[in-house]
Structure 1
Amino acid sequence: MAHSSEKRFGLLGRNIDYSFSRGYFAQKFEAPQWQDCRYDNYDLPEASHIKTLLQTQPQLNGLNVTIPYKEAVIPFLDDLDPIARQIGAVNTIQWLPDGTTLGHNTDWYGFQKALEPYLTSHHQHALVLGTGGAAKAILYTLQHLGIPYIVVSRSGEKETLSYAEITPEIMHAHTLVIQCTPLGTYPDVEACPPIPYAHFTPLHLAFDLVYNPPKTRFLTLAEAQGASIENGYSMLVHQAEKAWEIWNNTSV
């Protein structure tokens, strides 16, 4: 049983052994002021198990949420902060002093902080690959930055393009390409979205939210055409630090 003074945090997801979050916070908690904290993986096979976890772990102080539960977790929470409500996805859960749960989204903040150093004047239109919870946060950030975008999905439904509909003209007009699907995540490192990689150019920035491996096949193929590339590790760090700020300041 946990010591009464111990603060417990963790990551909620499915098949999350690949995630760096536990290692990141374990290293953080080596500092003397955080040695009463621990961070565990909560690897749940089905969304229906989320309710049980939240009800039977009253000693938790905060959770991160990853694929595939960023949207599925919402019905099990007591409330959402305004940005998470607008995005429609949660990646951070805060326990309030009264014991209720409040869902936040720090992915959008992490993505913006990671993206801004690479943005140039010619990154004026974005192609967003994927429609899941992570993609929703990216769309919020692009709106915040005033960057128009087209969303690409496997089916091409709901005002999105299908992968087969991406033409050379679309690639040339959208010099910011953001990969928001799990494709290419360890161990399935050869997977990548089926886009026309030959039409990347040195004007393009390819950003992959995946960070394990550090250079996915998506990034490798884009880089081969001269594109600038960035993986999701910096985004992970920025969103994690924002989550830590939320967990330690109930007025956020």
Structure 2
Amino acid sequence: MSVPYAEVIGDPIAQSKSPTIHGFWLDALALPGRYDRALVTADGLADYIAARRSDPDWRGCNVTMPHKQAVIPLLDRLDPLAATIGAVNTVVREVDGTLTGYNTDAPGFLEPLAQRLADTHLVRMARVLGTGGAARAIVAALAAEGFVIVLAGRDPAKARALLDELAPVGEHYAIGFDHFADPTDFAFDDRTQLFDVVVNASPLGMTGQPPLAFDFSHAPPGSVIYDIVTSPLDTGFLQAARVAGFPTVDGLAMLIGQAAVAFTHFFGAHPPRDRDDALRALIVG
């Protein structure tokens, strides 16, 4: 008997934690279905989409690098948020057989901040490091929540262009990546009723990558320090933040949050989020 299935595609793909996450939820809910991974090269993407489109058991796929933008012309429609961000990480086969592209990275990123975002603030300010694909979703999400954004990139002109595209309303700032590397003696004002977040949206600090050079004198008191890197899960950036007394959010929070939105699209059920601790333990091993 056939069962509904979804999968994650990319190149490489063996490292993806998505099958563990979705498989855990399917088992916990005793839902018929499975979640796989598929190695899909850039040259094979169009053929993959064409083949899956005609499979009634295929509910869709999560999309990782390098396909988040390349998949867009192969779809029938885009969710408005995905269109704004210009990247798709979730493809859903609708009941009529058409394919819709979504971006669940943005709501997944915001989920760990939801309790703080429910409060009213005089000013919200985010310092975001990185201008790659993940940063696009993060900048769009933060702009929608009323943050003033300081975006740091190796090329400040690219950071400026990204802000102009994704956060055209408000006063935002583009700077060089090295701005945060050296100490500052800047005296931050009273942060009462302010919400500050510092986000590493770059690969720096990831296994096999150079460390992220960030001096915490640049982080206002009470800032939430957020690193989207998942390997290692406890990055040097997060370790240094805790030593400096800052609250932290790791990359697994965003990964689980974005997967939860995709899971509901694929399987028509909400995942059991009361079991996140058990899921984390399974992923970390």
If the TM-score is normalised by the length of the shorter chain, which range does it land in? 0.7 to 0.9
Partner residue, 1:105 = 103
C-alpha distance after superposition, 1:158-203 (max 9, x if no partner): 3132212347378968941111123333x42x63333334544652
TM (norm. structure 1) is: 0.83
Partner residue, 1:209 = 228
Partner residue, 1:176 = 197
- Give the Cα–Cα distance (whole angstroms) in 2 for the partners of residues 62 and 172 of structure 1: 47
Taking every aligned residue pair, what percent have the same amino acid on both sides? 32
CA separation of 1:201/1:144 partners in 2, compared to 1, >3 Å: closer, same or farther?
A: closer
Structure 1 gap segments, 5+ residues each: none
Partner residue, 1:130 = 130
Q: How many residues align?
A: 242
Partner residue, 2:259 = 240
CA separation of 1:15/1:169 partners in 2, compared to 1, >3 Å: closer, same or farther?
A: farther
Once the two structures are TM-superposed, the CA of residue 118 in structure 1 deviates from its matched residue by: 5.0
Partner residue, 1:18 = 15
Aligned counterpart in structure 1 of residue 4 of structure 2, from 2, 7, 10: 7
Q: Is the 8 A contact 2:198 2:219 kept in 1?
A: no
- Give the Cα–Cα distance (whole angstroms) in 2 for the partners of residues 181 and 192 of structure 1: 11
Structure 2 gap segments, 5+ residues each: 161-173, 190-194, 269-285
Q: Is the 8 A contact 1:18 1:212 kept in 2?
A: no
Q: Is the 8 A contact 1:200 1:222 kept in 2?
A: no
Once the two structures are TM-superposed, the CA of residue 100 in structure 1 deviates from its matched residue by: 2.1
1:228 paired with 2:254, answer: no
CA separation of 1:96/1:193 partners in 2, compared to 1, >3 Å: closer, same or farther?
A: same
Q: How does 1:33-182 map to 2 (within 5 A)?
A: 33-34=30-31, 36-44=32-40, 46-57=41-52, 58-59=54-55, 60-117=58-115, 124-158=124-158, 159=160, 160-166=174-180, 168=184, 175-182=196-203
- Give the Cα–Cα distance (whole angstroms) in 1 for the partners of residues 123 and 231 of structure 2: 25
CA separation of 1:175/1:218 partners in 2, compared to 1, >3 Å: closer, same or farther?
A: same
Letter in 1 for 2:36: D
C-alpha distance after superposition, 1:130-149 (max 9, x if no partner): 22222111112212211110
Letter in 2 for 1:128: V
1:177 aligned counterpart, secondary structure: strand
- Give the Cα–Cα distance (whole angstroms) in 1 for the partners of residues 81 and 228 of structure 2: 20
TM (norm. structure 2) is: 0.74
- Give the Cα–Cα distance (whole angstroms) in 1 for the partners of residues 154 and 63 of structure 2: 24
CA separation of 1:171/1:100 partners in 2, compared to 1, >3 Å: closer, same or farther?
A: farther
Q: Is the 8 A contact 1:200 1:226 kept in 2?
A: no
